[in-house]
Structure 1
Amino acid sequence: MDLIPAPNRVQARPDSESGPWNPRLTPTTRIAAEDGAQGVARWLRSELAAATGFTFDACTLEEGRRSARTIELRFDPQLRADRGREAYAISVNEYGVFLRGGGRPGLFYAAQTLRQLLGPQAYRRAPLPGAAWVLPMGEIQDAPRFGWRGVLLDVARHFLPKSDVLRFIDLIAAHKLNVLHLHLTDDQGWRIEIERHPRLTEVGAWRERSMVGFRAAGRHDDRPHGGYYTRDDLREIVAYAAKRHVTVVPEIDLPGHSQAAVAAYPELGNTDVVDTAALGVWTDWGINPNVLNVSEETLRFFEGVLEEVLEIFPSEYVHLGGDECPKDQWRASPAAQARIKELGLADEDELQSWFIRHFDRWLADRGRRLIGWDEILEGGLPPHAAVSSWRGYEGGVAAARAGHAVVMCPEQHVYLDHRQAPGSDEPIPVGTVRTLEDVYRFEPVPPELAEAEDGGAAARVIGTQANLWTEFMDDARDVDYRAFPRLAAFAEVAWSDLPRDPAERDYADFERRMAAHYPRLDALGVDYRRPDGPRPWQRRPGVLGRPAD
């Protein structure tokens, strides 16, 4: 059946003409949904109607059972009890198509699998001539390995219009990924409307120019770049994602990566060290020395920001960054040093920990949880915080052993902005070569957790995430190229019950199934990297990257 991600169990049956129903969709095929499943049925009807031209009229379960041409959607309490809300089962036989889910997410994933079974034409937005819409007979039982199957999309470095974000949600949902980590703020741009602080978007949402390639080239395009999402845009994104069982986790990066905010409101910076009024939105890439100050006024400012963030995003987790915060300005700042003395802290690392802990408590008081990059371990980890482990596995291992939830996203394995092959053809080659096979052999739970007898630290790895940082991706086509097909491999790592030893994984079988998956990506309009290398328009000759040592 060539499904991606691979289901836990597939049992195919030879086609049969003996029953009352030939397993194919026709203009008279109807969709019957149990109470509570109508949302998934509407999504499935919309997708299949666009591709086939059929109407897929709704009917009750009782009416569907009297008909031989029905797709049935219903919940299965036993499936939920055994495998959870995201588990599903599919049966295609001579009597119909039967989708069962442990909950609405499971039914949705069953519907996504059904679309794969129908072939690449099921991903088209209008019917093509000659399609037969035949389904293979058999049964599938499936459930995900991890509850957090995420992708970070950086819209701060290069802004993506709302329509591109909605399209990206459809792409990740088609691969059974369920978290979109939206990186909304950074030195190079502020992308979320905050009503009480309008200059964050009036000033912070655009920059005068952008660096082209790696900073060592010293090259800029001298073209203004910007954009932001209104509160209603983001509400729409959240609602659209929710219908596809994708949770949008917002990131407001602090206390580092904050020059766009300081450019809008100079009083947020270390004014006793730097002329912050002279700072603009940063036009370079890299680690920026201009960080937030640690005053009470700055705390109140970002509490106000987060109040509006919580109004828009219902996610349990809110990401507050905490990464790559140079301490030089705090070391030089009399105000910061006075704060360290006032709070009885040992050093600047503990000052950052105090800053993050403040917002950890603030979010906890409102029923939310802070998640941050693994630098938040330095100086002491906030009690309720979860960790995104990006600098390898080490931070995640330490956090899991200390009792904290962990999302594994090590740069060396799942930073999809990194180049996909050696050689000069790769556009703006960045970092370590990460091939499709490399991503397929990524294991989120390292051996030191999997083999330890320490009270279940491995279970605290709640999931894994691939990250797309967009310094070198300035539009959706660039994002497509860096993300795919590697995101398909990552989706299988996050979902499927693969061997825990990466060397034991059957990459040849995955490649075979990918041969069937590429036409699906083609039908979806994804400008992915072909197995034989980039197309001419996907290359960026002469633009300096950052090859690994």
Structure 2
Amino acid sequence: MSDRYALLVPAPRHAAAQPGSFTLDAGTLLHAEPEVTHLVRRLLHPLNLPLAPGSAPEGVLSVRVEDGGQAEGYRLRVSGDGISITATDLAGVRHAVQALKQLLTADAWRAAALPGRWEAPCGEIEDAPAVGWRGGMLDVSRHFMTKGAVLKYVDLLAMHRMNRLHLHLTDDQGWRVESRRHPAINRRSTHRPDTLIGHRRHSNDYDGTPHGGYYTLDDLAEISAYAAERGITVVPELDLPGHASALLAAFPELGTGSREVLGGWGVSAGVLKPIPAAVTLVCELLDEVLEAVDTPYVHLGGDECPTEDWPLDPEVSAHMAALGVTRARDMHGWFLREIAEHLATRGKRMIVWDEGFQSGGVRADSIVMCWRGDAIARQAAAAGYDVVRAPTYPTYFDYDQSTSPGEPLSIGGPITLEDAATFEVLPGAWSEEERGRVLGGQFQVWREYIPDDRHLDYMTFPRACAIAEAVWSGRPADFADLTRRLSEAHLARLEAAGCEYRPLDGPHPWQSGGTGRRARETNDPHRTRQNWLAWSAQLPPTDVHVSAVERTS
């Protein structure tokens, strides 16, 4: 039996193989406290382990929780007599079981147990994460993602010991959450007549096919509960006051710019007005979401919000005068702070993209999610704000994975697997105090050019494996060692779990862009690594201008 302790993803702090093995099968008894029993049987559901009566005999899987260690830490020991797990908390139990499954064959990741026995090699693992926020963002607005696909991604995140699922629920291209209080949203904001094909320069090339969908509040409650069982917190995002065209299709009187669900991409002129009526509407919508999703966090977006039309609107200009405000960008901060105050009454912390920090739209307890490079992230940390690191390079997975012409259409790039492995969630150049403000990091999958769930798998994995290792360990992954573990074991686990990942040597023929409308646009300079990093280093002001191609009725 190969040294499976050297094939874990993410790699643990300490792992050592020993001679021998233990047979884990449907006859193995589980010995644990009641609250732990349900959890372990869920995670090892194909085996349906029977419970051990009384004290733990030999030949069992024994699990116990002991206070006093590092949060989410665990110790896993496999001997010829059985398996023992000792964890600091329930999160540590979950991580230990995920590690145990990786010690088995790849078939342990299938939905049903195949005939035969699972041999767990003897050895020991001691492990704990370096940071507390380890996650992934899925854009379900640009292209809707079924509930079943979301649940699959919960399992994939848990497999990699991630603990945050950030759902980007709203944007110009669709509002993806039910409102029972404002049903006009369900009728008008959740679908678009067609979708742009190719990049923005093909401004008149639309597919003529309606696209839409939304999660009911019961769906969100189910997703939240399913994720919680697997140790994952759902972070819902309503991206406002910019990116609001879809919402304005139902409430045109509350916005400026476009007031229809858009089929094209980029920064839209559809923006909520920073007035009390708009704040009230958003708070009512958030209250509905929070009745469904059990979370301490709400992401308010706040990115890419054109403000030049606000002073031209009579309602906005009158409100600015009443507040004594002269700059439009200050109203951006006012809008976010008003909603943050409402969330605080419910015991929730607001998260904003880094533009919200620049416009002053944060409370002292707000979290700044930084996507425009290290400089602004460090600025927010130095100012005393908790930070989640989400820099475009190397955590944006809507970018090409190589420069090969066989890659399918994307927004730009590339961001390779090796690039993702360089992610430094705790930058060494920062001071100890600044690093102490870093909650963790995550990858982002924006879906303008990811139309279906199979392509989502291709764009996300195995790059997500590299980010998972970086945030678990607190340092960049060893690329050579990571690719060895992927090729020798982990890609087979992903395949057994039903994930259609990108092979290390390039796409399968059916994953490539071909020569049609999904072909990679190799001559498009949009968002290359060099021009993006140069732009982000300038720390542009919050005031942005519309750069998207829009169609209005």
| TM-score, normalising length: structure 2 | 0.90
Contact persistence 1:24–1:133 (CA under 8 A): yes
Q: Secondary structure at the match of 2:271?
A: coil
Does the alignment pair 1:386 with 2:385?
Answer: no
Q: Which residue of 1 aligns with 2:10?
A: 5
Q: Aligned-residue CA RMSD in angstroms?
A: 1.6
**How far is the alpha carbon of 1:132 from its aligned partner?**
4.1
Contact persistence 1:261–1:268 (CA under 8 A): no
Does the alignment pair 1:135 with 2:144?
Answer: no
Does the alignment pair 1:40 with 2:61?
Answer: no
Q: Which residue of 2 aligns with 1:465?
A: 442
Q: Which residue of 2 aligns with 1:519?
A: 492
Aligned mates of 1:202, 1:97 — CA distance in 2: 54
Q: Which residue of 1 aligns with 2:64?
A: 74
Q: Secondary structure at the match of 2:119?
A: coil
Q: Which residue of 1 aligns with 2:310?
A: 330
Q: How does 1:6-405 map to 2 (within 5 A)?
A: 6-15=11-20, 23-46=22-45, 48-49=46-47, 55-60=48-53, 62=55, 65-66=56-57, 68-77=58-67, 81-84=68-71, 86-129=72-115, 131-218=116-203, 219-270=205-256, 279-383=259-363, 384-405=365-386
- Cα distance change of structure 1 residues 236 and 329 upon mapping to structure 2, 3 Å threshold: same
**How far is the alpha carbon of 1:315 from its aligned partner?**
1.1
Contact persistence 2:334–2:361 (CA under 8 A): no
Aligned mates of 2:370, 2:93 — CA distance in 1: 31
Q: Secondary structure at the match of 2:235?
A: strand
Contact persistence 2:26–2:50 (CA under 8 A): no
Aligned mates of 1:125, 1:290 — CA distance in 2: 44
Aligned mates of 2:206, 2:195 — CA distance in 1: 5
Q: Secondary structure at the match of 2:201?
A: helix
Does the alignment pair 1:490 with 2:467?
Answer: yes
Aligned mates of 2:97, 2:440 — CA distance in 1: 23
Aligned mates of 1:128, 1:8 — CA distance in 2: 31
Contact persistence 2:265–2:448 (CA under 8 A): yes
Contact persistence 2:78–2:122 (CA under 8 A): yes
Amino acid at match of 2:473: S
**How far is the alpha carbon of 1:121 from its aligned partner?**
1.2
**Deviation per CA, 1:400-446, whole angstroms, max 9, x where unpaired?**
11111100000121001111000211110332211111111110122
Amino acid at match of 1:83: Q
Aligned mates of 1:175, 1:437 — CA distance in 2: 18
Does the alignment pair 1:510 with 2:482?
Answer: yes
Q: Which residue of 2 aligns with 1:19?
A: none
Amino acid at match of 1:26: D
**How far is the alpha carbon of 1:213 from its aligned partner?**
2.2
Contact persistence 1:412–1:432 (CA under 8 A): no
**How far is the alpha carbon of 1:312 from its aligned partner?**
1.3
Contact persistence 1:10–1:141 (CA under 8 A): yes
Contact persistence 1:32–1:72 (CA under 8 A): yes
Contact persistence 1:320–1:372 (CA under 8 A): yes
One of 414, 419, 438 as aligned partner of 1:438? 419
Does the alignment pair 1:410 with 2:387?
Answer: no
Count of residues paired in the alignment? 514
Structure 2: stretches of 5+ with no match in the other structure: 532-553
**How far is the alpha carbon of 1:60 from its aligned partner?**
3.9
Contact persistence 1:39–1:243 (CA under 8 A): no
Aligned mates of 1:240, 1:14 — CA distance in 2: 37
Aligned mates of 1:393, 1:244 — CA distance in 2: 31
Contact persistence 1:356–1:376 (CA under 8 A): yes
**Deviation per CA, 1:29-72, whole angstroms, max 9, x where unpaired?**
111112421232221341x32xxxxx42112461xx22x32111
**Percentage of pairs with the same residue:** 41
Deviating above 6 A after TM superposition, structure 1's stretches of 4 or more consecutive aligned residues are: none
**How far is the alpha carbon of 1:466 from its aligned partner?**
0.3
Amino acid at match of 2:478: D
Does the alignment pair 1:476 with 2:453?
Answer: yes
Contact persistence 1:8–1:497 (CA under 8 A): no
Q: Which residue of 2 aligns with 1:531?
A: 504
**Deviation per CA, 1:252-272, whole angstroms, max 9, x where unpaired?**
1110001000011211213xx
**Deviation per CA, 1:309-337, whole angstroms, max 9, x where unpaired?**
22112211100000000112114323322
**Deviation per CA, 1:111-154, whole angstroms, max 9, x where unpaired?**
1111110120111223435x441111111000011111010011
Contact persistence 2:332–2:361 (CA under 8 A): no
Q: Secondary structure at the match of 1:135?
A: strand
Aligned mates of 1:228, 1:379 — CA distance in 2: 31
Aligned mates of 1:427, 1:334 — CA distance in 2: 46
- Cα distance change of structure 1 residues 447 and 155 upon mapping to structure 2, 3 Å threshold: same
Contact persistence 2:410–2:449 (CA under 8 A): no
Q: Secondary structure at the match of 2:121?
A: coil
**Deviation per CA, 1:478-505, whole angstroms, max 9, x where unpaired?**
110000010011110111254xxx5xx5
Contact persistence 2:172–2:261 (CA under 8 A): yes
**Deviation per CA, 1:135-187, whole angstroms, max 9, x where unpaired?**
11111000011111010011011001111111111111111111000011110
**Deviation per CA, 1:328-381, whole angstroms, max 9, x where unpaired?**
211432332222222122401111001111111111122111001000022324
Amino acid at match of 1:250: P
Aligned mates of 1:344, 1:369 — CA distance in 2: 28
Q: Which residue of 1 aligns with 2:407?
A: 426
Q: Secondary structure at the match of 2:167?
A: strand
Aligned mates of 1:91, 1:457 — CA distance in 2: 37
| TM-score, normalising length: structure 1 | 0.91
Q: Secondary structure at the match of 2:436?
A: helix
Aligned mates of 2:36, 2:236 — CA distance in 1: 28
Amino acid at match of 1:136: P
Contact persistence 1:350–1:378 (CA under 8 A): no
- Cα distance change of structure 1 residues 61 and 416 upon mapping to structure 2, 3 Å threshold: farther
Q: Secondary structure at the match of 1:431?
A: coil
Q: Which moved more, 1:145-154 or 1:437-446?
A: 437-446
Aligned mates of 2:229, 2:43 — CA distance in 1: 11
**How far is the alpha carbon of 1:525 from its aligned partner?**
1.5
Amino acid at match of 1:302: V
Amino acid at match of 2:402: A
Aligned mates of 2:492, 2:144 — CA distance in 1: 28
